[in-house]
Structure 1
């Protein structure tokens, strides 16, 4: 991949990250507002922008490296708090934050 193409990809990601930053600032302003629906919508849009950016950055890394670095997925799992363990031929996987925490009703 030539340097012009790489620079184009980098600048596109910078724009996406700026959009995410703008959403964060919007959320901050909405904290003082009493519109939970608007807050939810902005938070959801920000999370979706972040998901897209992550996928694009992962694709960028794949393209630049000619494949994924060997330890990338293990490091990505660690960054997200995912733990995989095998003990006595039993596989256990901990996937935090995939489900909302349940509140106890007594």
Structure 2
């Protein structure tokens, strides 16, 4: 089993389950997914510049303010349109795929 990025893979898989396994609005599902994504740190991608940049971009979409990322992510997602939320959900799935 490849242990590289194991925590990130686990957290992104849990985030995808949150996105897929609920009848709630896409914004509510993204809020739940955030609880998993925010357990991943950018340092987990040291040595892989491409993943590091993609993860940083994803975090920027979820939480522009880096001081209190959890609160900011909740507020940001709650005010996303369905189109914006679906776009972010797609990026989460794509990133999980990139983790291999």
Q: TM-score range by the shorter chain?
A: 0.3 to 0.5
Structure with more helix by fraction: 2
TM-score, normalisation: structure 2: 0.36
TM-score for both structures, normalised by structure 1? 0.35
Structure (1/2) with the larger strand percentage: 1
